[in-house]
Amino acid sequence: MASTTAIAALTLHCFSKSNTLSPFRTLPRLTCSFSSSIKFNISFAPPNPKPKPNPKPTPEPQTDAPNEPDGPLLIPWIVRGEDGNLRLQSEPPPSFLKAMATAQTGTKKDKNQTKTTATSKAQKPRATAPPQHSKAARRFYNENIRSSSAARLSKVLAASGVASRRSCEELIFEGKVTVNGSVCNTPQTRVDPAKDVIYVNGNRLPKRQPKKVYLALNKPKGYICSSGENESKSVISLFDDYLKNWSKKHAGVPLPRLFTVGRLDVATTGLIIVTNDGDFAQKLSHPSSNLAKEYIATVDGLVHKRHLIAISEGTTIDGVHCVPDVVELLPRQPDMQRARLRIVVHEGRKHEVRELVKNAGLEIHSLKRVRIGGFRLPPDLG
């Protein structure tokens, strides 16, 4: 039989400076059991539960976990005071409480707001007053930078009326052009007639360039589109009276060198543009512009449906199959006995309209061009 011995609970006391006894801690009851195998089973008795209004079954106490002491657990805080000395206190410092409150109320939101504010301030344009320049600085800019008209030498010579651009290049290659006292053999040399001294065959080129001129001409029959001086029936010869009165209207400005934009054959009449602007002529006549050209063809004989179909199917010119954009039979006018066809093309090849009509089995009596792109021949132009 195993014998059991109960050991009474002990109370430990400590003496204070005033020689008074004060309880420090109470140990729970210890129970020891002895058996024949000499094993000890030590357990701590739980404290007496306090009475509750609605008692609930309490779980069995755990033998491994010690009981907590009575009363709240106080954590001392070591804080440095205003005098610089460390001291103990039972409450956390205000700085710690403030930091905890800030962390709980959303520190991330404040950071985002700070970033947003910083970004908005960075993106906000800074208001600056417009720069103020002196009158002399503006004059220097306008005379030396803004109004600079430097261009290729061959282009400047052609625009000044010396000759065509190809003829001007030949003059440059032959050494008949000098720039600032030196012979220039390169047509691509950039010059400014207002600043550079240019001589051609011993004659100085005027400083001022002629104004840009754009003229619409109703070309009569029998004139050729050539700018040769020996051609008496040239289209340019029709502007002799206009050029004679040039000096009266434009004093001190050299005569413009006029040329035609594209060509019309001798027998064709109608709209042709005359100018001295090479860039404008290049844009207007280049195939990449794809400008439509409208013609009125007066034909001999009767026009049937098969003729219109044959013209609309196109024909081959210089190895290229050309098809018109529009083919239309115009209503017959009472004062005209011949039929009229309205033909619109965009290729602009040589004798294209005449070849289209001829391929259809018709013969052209007269041909007149009335439109080039957005430029139309005025009906009242003689």
Q: Does residue 173 contact residue 135 with C-beta atoms inside 8 Å?
A: no
Mean pLDDT in the chain? Answer: 76
Q: Does residue 13 contact residue 24 with C-beta atoms inside 8 Å?
A: yes
Whether residue 131 has pLDDT greater than 90: no
Query: 290-382: which CATH architecture?
Result: 2-Layer Sandwich (3.30)
Q: Which residues pair with 224 in a beta bridge?
A: 234
pLDDT digits (tens, 9 = 90+) for 304-347: 999 999 999 999 888 889 899 999 999 988 888 899 999 999 87
Q: Indicate where the chain has its CATH 3.30.70.1560 domain(s).
A: 290-382
pLDDT at 86: 79
Our answer to whether residue 300 is catalytic in this structure is: no
Tell me yes or no: is domain 211-288 CATH 3.30.70.580.
yes
Q: Does residue 90 contact residue 74 with C-beta atoms inside 8 Å?
A: yes
C-alpha to C-alpha distance for 158 and 287, rounded to whole angstroms: 23
pLDDT at 48: 56
pLDDT at 124: 54
Of 2-16, 54-68, 226-240, 289-303, the range with the lowest mean pLDDT is: 2-16
Which of 160, 166, 202 lies closest to 183, judged by CA? 202
Q: How confident is the model at residue 269 (pLDDT cuts 50, 70, 90)?
A: very high
User: In CATH, what number does 147-204 get?
Assistant: 3.10.290.10
C-alpha to C-alpha distance for 22 and 15, rounded to whole angstroms: 7
Whether residue 380 has pLDDT greater than 70: yes
Q: Indicate where the chain has its CATH 3.30.70.580 domain(s).
A: 211-288
Torsion of CA 227, 372, 270, 300, to 10 degrees: 130
Q: Does residue 269 contact residue 367 with C-beta atoms inside 8 Å?
A: yes
85, burial (CB in 10 Å: exposed 0-12, middle 13-18, buried 19+): exposed
Q: Which residues pair with 44 in a beta bridge?
A: 30
pLDDT at 6: 40
pLDDT digits (tens, 9 = 90+) for 205-236: 888 778 889 999 999 999 988 766 556 688 88
Q: Indicate where the chain has its CATH 3.10.290.10 domain(s).
A: 147-204
pLDDT at 341: 94
Instruction: Fill in the DSSP letter of residue 331.
Output: P
Of 15-29, 151-165, 198-212, 263-277, the range with the lowest mean pLDDT is: 15-29
One of 240, 241, 265, 335 is an active-site residue; which one?
265
